[in-house]
Chain A
Amino acid sequence: DTAVSQTPKYLVTQMGNDKSIKCEQNLGHDTMYWYKQDSKKFLKIMFSYNNKELIINETVPNRFSPKSPDKAHLNLHINSLELGDSAVYFCASRRSSMNTEAFFGQGTRLTVV
């Protein structure tokens, strides 16, 4: 069983479109994250979310929004896509009561054309 799964794995779309990336974890974790990895392989935090608080990296445009229908899911919605949004997006989760590792999904490669 995949611990953290993202869909789709690849997403090609045109500028100006709105798209969503789904993330699900079956580990019973209470905290989930979205990271963006650019072409230089830098893994940058976008959002941290648990059932108590949402922490937003202030550099993330408000076209990006996380939505959590339940504790096992944290989806990423992106409005009005721009060329610069092209990157690999990773979802991750961890149990906040234990200061241990984060588990990552396999990533979604987003290409905006």
Chain B
Amino acid sequence: SQKIEQNSEALNIQEGKTATLTCNYTNYSPAYLQWYRQDPGRGPVFLLLIRENEKEKRKERLKVTFDTTLKQSLFHITASQPADSATYLCALSRSGGSYIPTFGRGTSLIVHP
């Protein structure tokens, strides 16, 4: 069966450092991989999307890599700030109209001032 794995333990880092979150998957051939941010009591909010033929995508302080051979995506936040503290979810999907984003459990990031 399909599995999407993210670190279940919270990631604690110091302000200013780079946070790196991991998303691994098995038994899946996604066309797209997305990262979302979820704050307590809120719905997930989209951050970045990367396609299977792309190796890397950047947006401001965010960077995503996608390695379809390793079946892994890395999500980086550079110069992290306490306001970056949240749960980060990766989601995989195939292409087409019946695309349904399938989510991992998310990793909690805590940035300490």
Contacts and interface: CB of A to CB of B under 8 A. Distances in A.
B99 A107 contact: no
A99 B99 contact: yes
B49 A107 contact: no
Interface residues of A, number: 29
Contacts of A107: 41-43
Nearest to A102: B101
Interface residues of B, number: 25
Interface in A77-112: 90, 92, 94, 96-97, 99-107
Interface of B: 31-32, 34, 36, 41-46, 49, 87, 89, 91, 93, 95, 97-103, 105-106
Interface of A: 4, 31, 33, 35, 40-45, 48, 50, 52-53, 55, 90, 92, 94, 96-97, 99-107
